[in-house]
Chains A and B, each alone.
Chain A
Amino acid sequence: MPAITLSGVVKNYAGGHAAVKDLDLTVPDGSFTCLLGPSGCGKTTTLRMIAGLEQPTRGEITVGDRVLDSVERGVYVPPEKRAMGLVFQNYALWPHLTVRGNTEFGLRMRKVPAAERAARAKEALEKVHVADCMDRYPSQLSGGQQQRVALARMLAVDPDVLLLDEPLSNLDARLRLEMRAELKRIHEETGATIVFVTHDQMEAMTMATHIAVMSGGELQQVAPPMEMYARPANRFVAEFVGSPPMNIVPAAGPEPGGLAGSLLRFAGKRGDMGAPGCAGVRPEALRLAREAGAVPDAAWSEDAVVETVLPTGASWTVELRVLGTRMFAITHDDPEAGPGDTLRCWTRPENLHLFAEDGTRTTAWDESVAPVSGAAS
């Protein structure tokens, strides 16, 4: 299975809007890579360029050792010759063809004989559990079934590269959960290189082997999900990945007071801290204690006034005011506190993230100490 390489890819639309700015990205072969970012960050444009539906203004796209696009060398392979699969956000099933017709279309284009075509279409539909709707038209299917047929249509031709453009965004919550597991299974079964576009960080975290976060047409970070979660490369990634998002405390000036001052002084105690622009703590890393004595020795801690408590069933989200700044904490034990109560909030030093003024991560201490992820801490 091939790796996909984008080098120096730029995409400018007519009117000067730059959708993608100088993108260098390698999608490892056989990986399930998520392009993650807010809407308008260029992730769908990137996917469509890989598919050949859009053409880069500059740069080169290769799959394996086959050059698909190279503006500089004048090489262009049209989408119909790229032999990839692409599942659209709105499925784009052909309304005038039955499920069978939709699924067999790609095989027909590849001049596969009728008997084999039928068998492979059936196999693909079975893989996504919709083989019993073979003779129905797309309009007679539910949203979830349409989604599966759209996937089967692309799986039938057995592509090395499968591209998915927010395929789950039109499904309801339960179906989405089901399809996530399904997609992960299909990835393991086929071994295809999958590029998946989403703006849902949860989707990216749960399915991907690699996440590439984009923002404003630029690549922010590429890393396996847990690594990205533990060591976000910059403030944007830190805030975008994780739900609820990381508590970010901006430091005003070189000698900040309040919560920022408290966090930075604590970090400064432990070594050369540079000049960070802000400090961050993930909500689940922010722990609550009833009294100061229950806080571990090496931890940072401050008094926190409870503002609201939002139980979700599995956990409690607690809105706190710490030294005048609002913070969120997630706890799996009943905080047994109500609005106005004062608690002690604390966190371990390795859960403290520091970002410089330009947003890049700065290290306050030796990161070879394995960071403790939220759930384990």
Chain B
Amino acid sequence: MAVAASARPASRGRRALYRARVLLRDPTVLLGILMCLVLLYLVIAPLISVISDAGRVQYGDEARSGQRTGSWTSYYLWRVFRSPVSHLLFWEPLWHTALVAAGVVAFALAVGGSMAWLVTRTNVPGRRFLASALVVPYMLPSWTFALAWLALFKNDRSGGQVGYLQGAGIRTPDWLAYGPLPIVVTLGLHYYPFVLLLFGNALRRIDSQLEDSARILGAGGRTVLRRVTLPLMMPALSSAVLLVLGRVLGTFGTPYILGLPSDYNVLSTSLYRAIRDRSTGVASTLAGVIVLVGVLVVLIDTRLVREQRRFVTVGGKGAMDRRGDLRRWRWPACALAMAVFAASVVAPVATLLLSTVTKTPGVFSFDNFTLKYWFGSHIPGAVGFPHGVLRGGELWEAAWNSLRIVGLASLVCGLLGLLIGYVVVRGDGTRVSMFLRQVSFLPYLVPGIAFAAACLSLFAVRRGPVPALYGTVTLLVLVLVITHLPYSSRSGISAMMQLGREPEEAAQISGARWPVRMLRIIIPIQRGALVTGVVLPFVSGLKELSIVIMLTTSGTQLLTTLSIGLVDYGYTQLANGVVLVIALLSFTMTYLAQRLTRSSLASGIGG
């Protein structure tokens, strides 16, 4: 009977029928297609929209471009790249961005690299404490450092209160108060933990047998370092460099706070300015350039990471803690590391804290101290926020908004990430799987501020059945979900990879239908991964500024945007107070998250 059937020539229709039956029985495929559509809409469409905005005449530019609204034009390209103002709009910020990025990378490498070496490969006193203490700067919002810098070095060139030094009568030159030097130092202090974590992880994972083999073959300590250890570290090192580079490219808060007073613009602040000035075409072009550079950076990174994987397989069995003896350099090394900790955590936090309880900076007489910036009911001269940070509704409302919006976004993100992981692993090798894997990672390539511009371009106006979302919670949630999707989807994919398909297949063989398999097997097993996929975006979303700065309105004020608003008004103490609240919240949440998920920050940074 069976033989007779197979001998019959198979019709195309029957085969299609067979395939259709298989597909219908396996919801992975339908789910995969659904996910693809969602990602197309949320990730690809905004990027297309922003690029098309850069090539079409925007409302209000008809006269200048000499064309009608909506028609194709190269006007914005000309304006950004070739016009008389292109210097101010693009070339100078580009040069500044490159300068700052190079400076930050060098700073982060020097500090992060040496600290990584100290805490992983030497017997420096207080290793354990240092290993976690030196990561703290990453848990603070990046522009905490910028505000602390101003509190110390600000001079009377711009409005608002001056810094401690100026207050104490020491005149701080402009180059020390604003511009590239402070930007590089403050960003460097925030980003060196990246290098510390990635480089330290690689150092820890290196197989000591590899070094031993070189020793047995007669290589001295220095030769081993030069010929074996460092070459093995190269991928991790370059990965860290590119990661920092990508972040610096999209960072907004620090260059805004420290660059604005001296008109020092980088690409992200130039983009912000263009959006605020409602020159959508120029903003879109700038966003396009940032996207392009970001993509380039990460393409190089993935290349190197691929190589790194090849290297990592070498490690494993022999990997263990092996520490060199620093001998008489032990205590000096410890002092150095402590100094880094002091400069990157203690000093900024103490400065900010001090600034919120003093009336005039730099004066340490008793009557200069006050708690009114925290609890006062009336602060003369402060229009729009005439009371202490903890008084009135503003802070609480912003905090509630932050928790609510970021929380919702993280929940969506975590679930979406796990589903993507499920589809990617179940359909391993198929086109849907590959597409999802890559597109869910795409936002990682795009600096946050450029993605926000892209989303603004797509969702700000009514398109078809989707109403205009500008100023709504929905838009904020959407953008936060998209920009944090790479973390969640990666955590989802790796969790599902680790689990493999067998547990679900075993349930399938046992007679469980798809919904039962999901609810009884997959989700219970992946509880932990789901928590990680929610918590990581939550922690990073709380201190997010670059992404949300262009999207919030007075109704959707978040903690971060509230603080920047106060900076704009020149209410130094109040702004510093809010930042301290964010720093405290962010630090506590990160700490709790680490305890809760037992995940290391490094996995969060690596994406």
Contact = CB atoms under 8 A, between A and B. Distances in A.
A85 interface: yes
Interface stretch (A88-96, A200-208, A319-327): A88-96
A81 B527 CA distance: 28
A268 B521 CA distance: 65
Given A105-B510, A109-B512, A71 B505 contact: no
Kindly state the interface size class of chain B when it binds its partner.
35 or more
B364 to A, nearest CB: 59
Contact of A70 (B5, B513, B520): B5
Given A74-B14, A92-B503, A14 B429 contact: yes
- Which of B15, B429, B511: most chain A Cβ within 10 A? B511
B5 A72 contact: yes
Contacts of B430: 14
B509 A80 contact: yes
A100 B3 CA distance: 43
A70 B513 CA distance: 22
A345 B241 CA distance: 69
Contacts of B510: 80, 105-106, 109, 153-154, 157
B99 interface: no
Contact of B506 (A5, A24, A88): A88
- Which of B3, B8, B503: most chain A Cβ within 10 A? B503
Contacts of A69: 18
A269 interface: no
Interface string B231-265: 00000000000000000000000000000000000
A58 B10 contact: yes
Interface class of chain B by DSSP:
helix
- Which of B1, B510, B521: most chain A Cβ within 10 A? B510
A53 interface: yes
A55 B22 contact: yes
B14 A76 contact: no
A71 B10 contact: yes
B426 to A, nearest CB: 11
A94 B3 contact: no
B6 A153 contact: no
Contacts of A79: 505, 508-509
A95 to B, nearest CB: 6
B10 A78 contact: no
A130 to B, nearest CB: 17
B506 A74 contact: no
A72 B17 CA distance: 9
B22 A92 contact: no
Contacts of A67: 2, 5
A81 B14 CA distance: 21
A174 interface: no
Given A80-B511, A86-B506, A92-B506, A60 B18 contact: no
A261 interface: no
Contacts of B14: 71-74
Given A60-B5, A74-B15, A92-B502, A80 B22 contact: no
B524 interface: yes
Contacts of A109: 510-512, 516
A74 B505 contact: no
A232 interface: no
B326 interface: no
B525 interface: yes
Contacts of B15: 71-72, 74
B305 interface: no
B8 A72 contact: yes
B22 to A, nearest CB: 5
A234 interface: no
A60 B22 contact: no
B512 A105 contact: yes
Contacts of B5: 7, 60, 67, 70, 72-73
Nearest to B15: A71
Interface in B6-22: 6-8, 10-11, 14-15, 17-18, 21-22
A72 B19 CA distance: 11
Given A60-B6, A96-B524, A80 B21 contact: no
B25 interface: yes
A84 interface: yes
B507 interface: yes
Given A94-B503, A105-B510, A76 B18 contact: yes
Interface in B455-513: 500, 502-503, 505-513
Contacts of B505: 51, 53, 79, 86, 88, 92
Contacts of A153: 506, 510
Nearest to A65: B1
Nearest to B501: A53
Interface string B525-541: 10100000000000000
Q: Which are the 10 A-B pairs with shortest beta-carbon distances?
A: A74-B17, A92-B502, A106-B510, A8-B6, A109-B511, A72-B10, A76-B21, A78-B25, A92-B506, A7-B2
Interface of A: 5, 7-8, 13-15, 24, 51, 53, 55, 58-60, 62, 65, 67, 69-76, 78-86, 88, 90, 92-96, 105-106, 109-110, 153-154, 157
6 contacts: A55-B22, A60-B5, A79-B505, A90-B502, A95-B503, A153-B506
